[in-house]
């Protein structure tokens, strides 16, 4: 056992008294030992040279002792080599299947949301996306419906059964948004809004962390630690394109980052092919590429009338194009030995 900082990882069945025993053992010759329940996984962050005497026989062996080199600690792939499954409501991400979250960029009206959610659910989406709080470059652009939009998402979930993934952009809103949403999205512009990350991490809901368009792969991993180090292991990393000199697309999707996230962490990876390209005809090829590169999930903008959308309409897929995408993804999945995740319960219709 080295004197460097490292994380001891234990099996979920290891109880509090065994962890306490380990802490005592690890600190017996100086050094520190800080326990953290990381999701269902007991861990201890240890520093110092380690104990002078041998481990007492009654203490369970750790599954792994992971050196914390670099900025990645609880997200490191060695912490949980089998990978983490993130559960956004009834939808699993990271179990091998391809999970598609879809919906409008921004919630506009109850009808628009209901119609779109019906379309994406019928085509096989397992969750809905929809922004109530919209971070906009200019204060003079539509800023979302805020709490009213959140209520519309709540209603749409009741009728569709699809869980809600929605953005939160102010640490003061986190508790209230988390009370409704099944998953919290941290937008690209807030990836390094560290106080927001801390609040989101503490809110007890899964977090989808979108990559900042000016941020590196290493910085994404470091930002995720702000959430993970609070014991919240329900984090999805989302690649959505970076800023480059190429102006043919709004952003340049970094397809290698998808593979790097999968290789370097145990977290599931999502890709947003809609915001990266900003061009509807590129959504399908980029989505296909993302899945072939190993992405666990997709986040797709769909809108019934893209031309009249209040936010980023130009890039949204039409319902028919989304259906075609889902069909192609289903075929692709077979070629990869995977399958499309699905929902089975019927959708409620509005009454009256």
State which of positions 119-158 bind its own copies (CB under 8 A).
135-140
- The answer to the question of residue 78 lying near its own copies (CB under 8 A) is no
Q: Is residue 43 helix, strand or coil?
A: strand
Could you say which of 71, 78, 154, 304 contacts its own copies (CB under 8 A)? 71
- The answer to the question of residue 83 lying near its own copies (CB under 8 A) is no
User: What is the distance between the alpha carbons of residues 108 and 153, in angstroms, rounded to a whole number?
Assistant: 10
State which of positions 51-70 bind its own copies (CB under 8 A): 68
- The answer to the question of residue 212 lying near its own copies (CB under 8 A) is yes
What is the DSSP pairing of strand 269-271 with strand 297-301? parallel
- Do 165 and 208 form a contact (C-beta atoms < 8 A)? yes
Output the DSSP codes for 9-25: E--TT--HHHHHHHHHH
Taking CB under 8 A as the binding criterion, the range among 11-19, 95-103, 147-155, 276-284 that sits at the site for its own copies is 276-284
For the chain, the distance separating the N- and C-terminal CA atoms, rounded to the nearest angstrom, is: 68
Output the DSSP codes for 74-123: TTBGGGSTT---EEETTEEESSSSBEEEEE-SB---HHHHHHHHHHHHHH
Could you say which of 108, 167, 233, 254 contacts its own copies (CB under 8 A)? 254
- The answer to the question of residue 218 lying near its own copies (CB under 8 A) is yes
Taking CB under 8 A as the binding criterion, the range among 13-21, 79-87, 102-110, 325-333 that sits at the site for its own copies is 325-333
- The answer to the question of residue 294 lying near its own copies (CB under 8 A) is yes
Shortest distance in whole angstroms from residue 244 CB to its own copies: 5
- The answer to the question of residue 249 lying near its own copies (CB under 8 A) is yes
Could you say which of 109, 216, 305, 308 contacts its own copies (CB under 8 A)? 216
Can you tell me which residue has the tokens 């368009």? 213
Please work out the total of residues on this chain that contact its own copies, with binding judged by CB under 8 A.
72
Could you say which of 47, 77, 252, 324 contacts its own copies (CB under 8 A)? 252
Instruction: Supply 323's token pair.
Output: 């259906």
């Amino acid at each position: 056992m080295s004197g460097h900082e490292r994380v001891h990882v234990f099996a979920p069945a290891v109880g509090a008294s065994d962890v306490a025993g380990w802490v005592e053992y690890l600190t017996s010759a100086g050094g520190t030992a800080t326990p953290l329940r990381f999701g269902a996984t007991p861990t201890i962050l240890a520093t110092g040279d380690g104990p002078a005497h041998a481990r007492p026989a009654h203490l369970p062996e750790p599954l792994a002792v992971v050196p914390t080199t670099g900025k990645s600690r609880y997200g490191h792939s060695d912490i949980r080599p089998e990978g983490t499954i993130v559960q956004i409501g009834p939808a699993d991400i990271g179990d091998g299947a391809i999970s598609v979250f879809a919906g409008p960029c921004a919630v506009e009206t109850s009808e628009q949301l209901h119609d779109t959610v019906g379309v994406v659910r019928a085509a096989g989406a397992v969750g809905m996306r929809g922004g109530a709080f919209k971070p906009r470059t200019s204060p003079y652009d539509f800023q979302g419906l805020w709490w009213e939009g959140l209520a519309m998402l709540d209603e749409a979930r009741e009728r569709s059964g699809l869980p809600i993934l929605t953005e939160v952009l102010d640490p003061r809103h986190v508790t209230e948004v988390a009370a409704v949403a099944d998953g919290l999205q941290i937008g690209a512009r807030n990836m390094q809004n560290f106080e927001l990350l801390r609040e989101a991490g503490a809110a007890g809901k899964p977090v989808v962390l979108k990559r900042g368009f000016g941020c590196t792969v290493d910085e994404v991993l470091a930002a995720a630690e702000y959430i993970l180090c609070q014991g919240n292991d329900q984090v999805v990393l989302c690649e959505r394109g970076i800023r480059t000199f190429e102006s043919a697309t709004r952003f340049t999707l970094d397809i290698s980052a998808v593979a790097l996230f999968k290789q370097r962490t145990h977290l599931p990876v999502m890709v947003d092919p809609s915001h990266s390209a900003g061009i509807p005809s590129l959504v399908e090829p980029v989505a296909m590429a993302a899945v072939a590169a190993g992405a666990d999930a997709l986040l797709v903008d769909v809108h019934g009338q893209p031309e009249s959308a209040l936010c980023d309409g130009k890039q949204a897929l039409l319902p028919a194009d989304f259906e075609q995408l889902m069909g192609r993804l289903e075929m692709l999945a077979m070629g990869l030995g995977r399958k499309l995740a699905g929902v089975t319960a019927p959708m409620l219709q509005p009454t009256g």
